[in-house]
Amino acid sequence: MVYADTAQTLGSQVTSLQNQVDALQTRAATGQSSSQSQASSGQQAAPATRHFSLVVANAPVTIATNVTYDAWTFNGTVPGPTIWVNQGDTIIFTLYNPTSMAHSIDFHAAQVDWSTDYATVQPGGSKTFNFTVNYPGVFMYHCGTAPVLEHIANGMFGAIIVNPQTPLPAATGGQYVIVENEWYLNSQPGSDGHYSGNLTKMLAATPDYVTFNGTAFQFQKSPLPVKPNQLVRLFILNVGPSLWEAFHVIGAIMDTVYIDGDPANAEHGLQTLNIPPSGGAIVDMYFPDAGGENPFVNHAFAYATVGAVGIFKVGASTTSTSSSTSTASASGTVRVSINPGSGINTTSTYYSPSTITVVIGVNNTVVWTNNDNMEHTVTATDKSFDSGLIEPGQSFSWTFTSPGTYTYFCTLHPWMKGTVIVKSG
């Protein structure tokens, strides 16, 4: 009888853990991180305790046109989710490993006993530990299980960005996270049509592709929009695993570069930024030529020719914006979309329409729907309304009863801003 009770208890624990892993795998399938926090351009929040988790997942990813790769990933994407935290935060982190291979985690932003906290997690297991982020910067996280070269080269990496205690100036011209990595392929794809990694090439550091954010030439085909004569901020990380990055923007100068993303390490007027494997930087710069295009490359051109190239598309003028306006109608509600890509700043319009006009008694209820793949908020600057976290696919509504102009933003991603103009009926 005692044995039966114990078996039931263990069975319940296993079922509970499996349900957690299943939920994490579902999130991984959508490329969703378990939590998001404030990005760098807003008011610095007080240090807080934040919970994050990652799940190991084997997943096919597209690394070039018509080329797919059987990657080892965190949360099903390469790179893994970008984790945003503030200097001084305490992080409670859990790694889940439902795969058949042993894996681990290594946070370059942490100061911990690596032999315990970064210990390998066996198949079906998990590991939880905590650390405080004491230094600001752009840091790498990756699997640290031997051979580390193979685990990183197969896709197990991402960025953790620690915002400084004193916020940097707002990047009103746009901001992006750009992660460079190398891919090493076997000569032929497998029976599933996907390529896998070649350890011999990894050891020789002879990659088939060098990419920004995991896919060769993607930002050449789909340029990144920026605004002219406004501050543009780049969070750059080179995860390697072996090659140095010579980051260069053609036709532009890097106004201020914070080495490793720390404001204490500022350099000015750089033409090319040298970043070692596992190194990072914040680059602040301006694009004065409205309507132009400025390629960005790894200036070691052997690597640019195999994928490490993209384009910044500069807006048409300093006065034009991508905002749209919704005026009063008799529909009863006005609907606003939180656009895909808003959380990683890969779109020029975050709330669409970004400026709306409503009339009390006609259509003064506004509904925001989160069409992005990560959590967001709709928070009034004057704190008159606050949605709390809006999960992907969920909505938040608010009825305005007093005339005025209400500005709002996302507390997790403060570059996202919108306006509601309320008129009397």
Q: What is the percent of the chain where pLDDT is above 70?
A: 85
Q: Are 147 and 124 in contact (CB under 8 A)?
A: no
Picking from 138, 163, 188, the residue at the C-terminal end of a domain is: 163
Picking from 114, 130, 163, the residue at the C-terminal end of a domain is: 163
* Same domain, residue pair 285 and 138: no
Q: Is residue 189 packed enough to be buried (19+ CB in 10 Å), middle (13-18) or exposed (0-12)?
A: middle
Amino acid, res. 373: N
228 inside domain: yes
Tell me the CATH number at 226: 2.60.40.420
Which pLDDT belongs to residue 28?
40
14-23, 40-49, 363-372 — which one is most confidently predicted on average? Answer: 363-372
At 301, list the tokens.
């051109």
Which pLDDT belongs to residue 13?
40
Picking from 314, 344, 379, the residue at the C-terminal end of a domain is: 314
- Mean pLDDT (the chain) is 87
Pairing state of beta strands 355-359 and 417-423?
A: parallel
Q: Are 284 and 171 in contact (CB under 8 A)?
A: yes
* Same domain, residue pair 71 and 212: no
Q: Are 195 and 69 in contact (CB under 8 A)?
A: yes
Query: Does the structure show a pLDDT above 80 at 33?
Result: no
Q: Are 286 and 249 in contact (CB under 8 A)?
A: no
31 inside domain: yes
110 inside domain: yes
Q: Left (φ > 0), alpha (ψ -120 to 50) or beta: where does 381 sit?
A: alpha
Which of 42-51, 104-113, 196-205 is the least confident region?
Answer: 42-51
At 302, list the tokens.
């052997």
Q: Is the peptide bond before 223 cis (omega within 30 degrees of 0)?
A: no
The DSSP code sequence of 216-234 is TTHHHHSPEEE-TTS-EEE
Instruction: Please state the pTM of the whole predicted model.
Output: 0.69
* Same domain, residue pair 12 and 146: yes
* Same domain, residue pair 42 and 83: yes
* Same domain, residue pair 149 and 284: no
The DSSP code sequence of 144-160 is -SSSHHHHHHTT-EEEE
Mapping DSSP to helix (H, G, I), strand (E, B) and coil, where does residue 301 land? helix
* Same domain, residue pair 144 and 288: no
Tell me the C-alpha distance between 96 and 104, whole Å: 9
Q: Are 343 and 376 in contact (CB under 8 A)?
A: yes
* Same domain, residue pair 111 and 236: no
Q: Are 371 and 339 in contact (CB under 8 A)?
A: yes
Q: What total number of domains does the chain contain?
A: 3
Q: What is the pLDDT of residues 206-258, one digit of tens each?
A: 999 999 999 999 999 999 999 999 999 999 999 999 999 999 999 999 999 99
CB proximity list for 171: less than 8 A, separation 6 or greater: 40, 41, 231, 232, 233, 284, 415
169 inside domain: no
Domain span at residue 356?
A: 325-423
CB proximity list for 146: less than 8 A, separation 6 or greater: none
* Same domain, residue pair 24 and 149: yes
* Same domain, residue pair 62 and 192: no
- How many CA atoms, within 13 angstroms, populate the side-chain half-sphere of residue 330? 0
320 inside domain: no
* Same domain, residue pair 258 and 120: no
319 inside domain: no
Q: What is the pLDDT of residues 316-336, one digit of tens each?
A: 864 434 444 544 444 568 899
333 inside domain: yes
Mapping DSSP to helix (H, G, I), strand (E, B) and coil, where does residue 293 land? strand
Q: Is residue 181 packed enough to be buried (19+ CB in 10 Å), middle (13-18) or exposed (0-12)?
A: buried
* Same domain, residue pair 58 and 149: yes
Rounded to 5°, the CA angle 150-341-357 comes to 170
CB proximity list for 317: less than 8 A, separation 6 or greater: 228, 290, 291
Q: What is the percent of the chain where pLDDT is above 90?
A: 70
CB proximity list for 382: less than 8 A, separation 6 or greater: 406
Q: What is the pLDDT of residues 64-101, one digit of tens each?
A: 999 999 999 999 999 999 999 999 999 999 999 999 99
Residues, the chain, total? 425
Q: Are 177 and 33 in contact (CB under 8 A)?
A: no
204 inside domain: yes
Mean pLDDT of 338-355: 83
At 120, list the tokens.
């390998």
* Same domain, residue pair 181 and 304: yes
Q: Are 160 and 85 in contact (CB under 8 A)?
A: yes
Which pLDDT belongs to residue 303?
98
